[in-house]
Amino acid sequence: MATTTATVTINSSDLTGDALSLSTTSTLYKAGQTIGLENTSGVGRTKVTSTSATVLYDGSNFTANGSHKVYIANKSTDPTEYFTISINAEELGRLYAGDFLFIPYGSHDADNDIKYTASVATGMVLEHLIISE
């Protein structure tokens, strides 16, 4: 059984007027269990040369109503370049240069795909990983 933990830390000396330091850690388990997630796509890097919407993770490939975690990062260094991330037809938001996301993912049906769309076709790099049941 795999044991995987995720940690997010947020620090700022001036965001709230006071020093801010938040940190949380979670062990990644299968849905409703204390058994660790056992599958991963591995960390991938995709060089994107198109501004068309592209499926990153196909919802039909993952256990329905399972516990899946997705990491996506924009490795660009140009602050004007971004990826738009969507699930099904719903836009989650934009990842600008250096931004990342780490979210739970429910593949409740085959149409629940995770897609990305690049703002430019200049070879931006999208880093990605899914950890799943």
The tens digit of pLDDT for each residue in 56-110 reads 999 888 888 889 999 999 999 999 999 999 998 899 999 999 999 999 998 777 7
Ordered domains of the chain (ranges, CATH): 33-132 (2.60.120.10)
> What is the tens place of the pLDDT at every residue in 12-69?
998 888 899 999 999 999 999 999 999 999 999 999 999 999 999 998 888 888 899 9
pLDDT the model gives residue 16: 84
What gap in Å lies between CA 68 and CA 15, rounded to an integer? 32
Exposure letters 64-73 (e unless 16+ CB within 10 A, then b): eebbbbbbbb
Residue-level pLDDT at 89: 85
Length of the chain: 133
CA Rg value for the chain? 16
